[in-house]
């Protein structure tokens, strides 16, 4: 069929090599989806394999839908149900075989909102409030406990009474919640997304009959985005292909960017050692990006050590290098970006705004850019996120500032019980009734009722004390100090930190930066009222029709997408790579993420960062990734000031040397080591944070834990 004639030699080899273990290393823009689709069609059309005997696993429902769409153009009458996600396949398996573990085929699949609703019921039944533990903390604990996998047997073997007994006998609050959650799950035979994979693995591992049935049925197993799979997904693919031994995996180690959710690059890197005789095919021809963009991308990613050696070559032609701009401030960086957008859009053969993508490491980086886009009336859409001034934590904190400046009912209702202070619906209803009778604000109603029996049992007095404290002094305070004081004294920042809400904390840090920039620009005349008016303008302005709009998104959200024009902003040390990238492994993942960003661009790539001082007094320097791309591959919009690159390089030496010391080999358990004081020993594990080593020394009864693996030498 004509699909074969559209393949290059490497793609054709991947399509027609049908038997055995095959690893396809497919670089960015190399036609990975095209190859995977063609191979599926080849198996069905040329070899006559039934679609019921081919499992093709993609990473997202969107990717599965796109693949089905392409195949149906060539094979319109085929059943493509087994082109699916890991979770989708597990549902199919469980619908057919969940009787093995005593579950009905009508089991309930819970999404995240269902989990939260179930936990709300658990909290209510156990008399737990948000002051004891948050819903999110409970979800995190349940996910962590389920990671041990042993819970599946508990759910399967326990009757309802036993689960209640486990709840009552639990020694910690978190475990009480865990077992009561299991009780609620078991009551309605509900499975959450984690359960789908764990239950499927349990059945395959414990029922020889079911395992052999699926192994014999699935003659060919194909896995897309193999660099992003976790150990459970790998186990599924390995087990299912265990009879016919036809496992075809496609991925790019240079695009492993999801280790924070369990992905492990070693599964694609070590594929040949896990499957002796496996064949590796490289797809190195890039059909997406212009040659100069690709040259910068190759130079960047080659700085990583944990990768397979490959170098993409461009098929198309263009002579424009990525353009880099080092701005004096974040506002000037944003204005430079919007100026280039307008120039490209208004050129003779103008580029549509919808063909432009703005990428950044985290959403908080978008604040200055959003302000500039609104100011310049350029329409934009924020993908996988909420516009900066509309994010919950930003609106909450601005409401605190409004309460200090001039209390209003809307701000009061947003802040009085955030964090939880026991001012719930009943007490709010009483305040509303009082305010209506007296013709006053809700805040005045609260002040008037603080000594009543009802409010003495809450923490409302703490809230009133906070507001009154800052109402008395805000006129004489620096705005950044005012914000910091409110965040600390209210407990808001502590609440987010306790819940591990790192992105929300980053957003608050960016708000501090926004206030710092505003006060510096406005000079001595700035007031709290001035800033609140400024923020309100950006909160309430409408940029109009957004169908033809610039796309703003994190780099993680951009995975799998491409744009004619890409702006990558916020390329500063401490932002990208982030401050938490404190090991070589974490730095390499940040570099892979930058590589993904570079390779989203087809025709033009714009890079930018901003100098200046942050709200915490630190100075911002250009990212090492700019220099990793090599100067000859990048055009500079303005020359860099002397010393800036040298300062970045000194930061790199400090952080990467430190990271090198902390680095732990991927598989260290059982290896022999030597310590200058303790002598010889054996590694028995690593600490829970993954950094350092736990060593049992020959001459010491109990093991020793080292935060820094550089303290021992591997023999």
- Cis amide leading into 577 (omega within 30): yes
Query: Which tokens belong to 700?
Result: 């010491």
Q: What sign does the CA torsion over 121, 122, 126, 129 have?
A: negative
Residue 18 known to be catalytic:
no
Q: Compute the half-sphere exposure of residue 644: CA atoms within 13 Å on the CB side of its CA.
A: 22
> Per the residue annotation, which of 219, 224, 254, 355 is the catalytic one?
224
> Per the residue annotation, which of 16, 17, 33, 154 is the catalytic one?
33
By residue count, the chain amounts to 715
Residues of 98-132 as b/e, b for ≥16 C-beta within 10 angstroms?
A: bebbebeeebeebeeeebeebbeebbeeeebeeee
Report the alpha-carbon distance of residue 250 to residue 22 in Å, rounded.
Answer: 9
Query: Which tokens belong to 558?
Result: 């951009």
Regarding beta strands 83-85 and 54-58, do their DSSP bridges make them parallel or antiparallel, or are they unpaired? parallel
Regarding beta strands 635-636 and 601-610, do their DSSP bridges make them parallel or antiparallel, or are they unpaired? unpaired
- Cis amide leading into 621 (omega within 30): no
Report the alpha-carbon distance of residue 202 to residue 235 in Å, rounded.
Answer: 11
> Per the residue annotation, which of 225, 510, 589, 609 is the catalytic one?
225
Q: Cβ distance 417 to 423 under 8 Å?
A: yes
Q: Which residues contact 207 (CB under 8 A, 6 or more apart)?
A: 97, 100
Residue 33 known to be catalytic:
yes
DSSP assigned state of 265: T
> Per the residue annotation, which of 23, 32, 39, 288 is the catalytic one?
32
> Per the residue annotation, which of 255, 519, 554, 691 is the catalytic one?
255
Report the alpha-carbon distance of residue 632 to residue 292 in Å, rounded.
Answer: 10
Report the alpha-carbon distance of residue 684 to residue 671 in Å, rounded.
Answer: 8
Report the alpha-carbon distance of residue 515 to residue 143 in Å, rounded.
Answer: 38
State the angle between helix axes of 208-217 and 193-206 in degrees (0 to 180), rounded to the nearest 10. Answer: 100
Report the alpha-carbon distance of residue 609 to residue 648 in Å, rounded.
Answer: 13
Which phi and psi (to 5°) does residue 16 adopt?
-90, -10
Q: What is the 3-state secondary structure (H, E, C) of 152-208?
A: HHHHHHCCHHHHHHHHHHCCCHHHHHHHHHHHHHHHCCEECHHHHHHHHHHHHHHCH
Tokens 């993508």 label which residue? 357
Q: Cβ distance 239 to 211 under 8 Å?
A: yes
Determine how many CB atoms are found less than 10 A away from the CB of residue 424: 12
Query: Which tokens belong to 102?
Result: 């005593």
Residue 441 known to be catalytic:
no
Q: Report which secondary-structure segment, H or E, holds 470.
A: helix 460-471
> Per the residue annotation, which of 391, 600, 620, 662 is the catalytic one?
600
Q: Cβ distance 323 to 606 under 8 Å?
A: yes
Report the alpha-carbon distance of residue 470 to residue 472 in Å, rounded.
Answer: 5
Q: Is 712 helix (H, G, I), strand (E, B) or coil?
A: coil
Residue 231 known to be catalytic:
no
Residue 225 known to be catalytic:
yes
* Alpha-helical segments (H) within 347-391: 367-375
Q: Rounded to the nearest 5 degrees, what angle is found at the Cα of 428, between the Cα atoms of 425 and 429?
A: 85
What torsion, rounded to 10 degrees, do the Cα atoms 590, 556, 89, 137 define?
Answer: 80
Residue 573 known to be catalytic:
no
Query: Which tokens belong to 491?
Result: 């407990």
- Which residues carry out catalysis? 32-33, 224-225, 255, 600
């Amino acid at each position: 069929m004509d699909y074969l004639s559209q393949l290059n030699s490497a793609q054709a080899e991947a399509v027609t090599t049908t038997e055995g273990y095959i690893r396809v290393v497919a670089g960015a823009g190399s036609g990975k989806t095209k190859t995977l689709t063609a191979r599926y069609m080849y198996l069905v059309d040329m070899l006559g394999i039934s679609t019921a005997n081919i499992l093709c696993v993609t990473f997202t429902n969107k990717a599965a839908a796109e693949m089905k769409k392409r195949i149906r153009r060539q094979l319109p009458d085929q059943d493509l149900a087994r082109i699916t996600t890991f979770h989708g396949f597990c549902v199919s398996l469980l619908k057919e075989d969940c009787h093995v573990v005593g579950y009905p085929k009508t089991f309930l699949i819970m999404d995240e909102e269902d989990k939260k609703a179930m936990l709300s019921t658990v909290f209510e039944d156990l008399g737990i409030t948000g002051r004891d533990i948050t819903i999110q903390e409970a979800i995190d604990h349940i996910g962590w406990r389920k990671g041990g996998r042993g819970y599946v047997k508990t759910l399967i073997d326990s009757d309802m009474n036993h689960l209640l007994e486990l709840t009552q006998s639990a020694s910690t609050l978190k475990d009480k919640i865990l077992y009561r959650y299991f009780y609620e799950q078991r009551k309605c035979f509900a499975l959450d997304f984690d359960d789908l994979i764990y239950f499927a693995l349990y059945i395959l591992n414990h029922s020889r009959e079911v395992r052999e049935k699926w192994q014999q049925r699935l003659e060919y197993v194909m896995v897309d985005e193999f660099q992003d799979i976790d150990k459970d997904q790998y186990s599924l693919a390995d087990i299912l292909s265990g009879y016919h031994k036809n496992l075809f995996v496609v991925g790019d180690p240079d695009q492993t960017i999801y280790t924070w959710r369990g992905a492990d690059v070693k599964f694609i890197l070590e594929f040949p050692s896990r499957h002796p005789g496996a064949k590796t095919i490289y797809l190195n021809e890039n059909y997406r990006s212009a040659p100069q963009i690709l040259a910068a991308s190759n130079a960047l990613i080659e700085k990583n050590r944990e990768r397979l050696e490959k170098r993409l070559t461009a098929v198309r032609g263009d002579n424009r290098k990525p353009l880099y701009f080092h701005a004096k401030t974040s506002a000037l960086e944003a204005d430079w970006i919007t100026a280039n957008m307008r120039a490209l859009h208004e050129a003779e053969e103008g580029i549509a705004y919808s063909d432009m993508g703005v990428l950044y490491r985290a959403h908080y980086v978008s604040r200055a850019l959003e302000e500039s886009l609104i100011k310049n009336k350029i329409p934009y859409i924020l993908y996988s996120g909420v516009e900066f001034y509309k994010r919950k934590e930003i609106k909450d904190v601005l409401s605190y500032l409004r309460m200090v400046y001039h209390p209003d009912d809307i701000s009061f209702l947003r802040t009085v019980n955030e964090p939880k202070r026991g001012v719930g619906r009943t007490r709010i209803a009483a305040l509303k009734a009082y305010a209506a009778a007296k013709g006053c604000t809700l805040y005045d109603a609260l002040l008037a009722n603080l000594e009543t029996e009802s409010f003495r049992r809450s923490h409302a007095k703490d809230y009133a004390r906070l507001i009154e404290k800052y109402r008395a002094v805000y006129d004489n305070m620096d705005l950044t100090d005012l914000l910091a004081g409110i965040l600390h004294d209210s407990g808001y920042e502590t609440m987010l930190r306790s819940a591990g809400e790192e992105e929300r904390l980053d957003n608050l840090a960016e708000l501090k930066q926004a206030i710092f920039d505003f006060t510096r620009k406005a000079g001595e005349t700035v007031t709290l009222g001035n800033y609140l008016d400024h923020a309100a303008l950006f909160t309430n302005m409408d940029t109009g029709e957004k169908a033809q709009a610039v796309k703003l998104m994190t780099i993680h959200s951009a995975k799998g997408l491409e744009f004619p024009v890409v702006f990558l902003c916020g390329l500063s040390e401490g932002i990208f790579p982030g401050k938490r990238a404190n090991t070589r492994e974490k730095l390499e993942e940040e570099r892979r993420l930058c590589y993904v960003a570079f390779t989203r661009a087809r025709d033009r790539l714009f890079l930018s960062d901003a100098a200046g001082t942050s709200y915490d007094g630190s100075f911002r320097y250009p990212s090492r990734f700019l220099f990793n791309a090599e100067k000859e591959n990048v055009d500079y919009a303005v020359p860099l000031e002397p010393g800036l690159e040298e300062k970045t390089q000194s930061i790199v030496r400090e952080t990467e040397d430190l990271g090198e010391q902390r680095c732990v080999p991927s598989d260290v358990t059982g290896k022999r080591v030597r310590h200058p004081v303790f002598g010889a020993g054996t590694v028995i594990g690593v600490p829970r944070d993954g950094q350092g080593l736990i060593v049992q020394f020959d001459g010491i009864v109990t093991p020793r834990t080292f935060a820094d693996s550089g303290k021992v030498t591997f023999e």
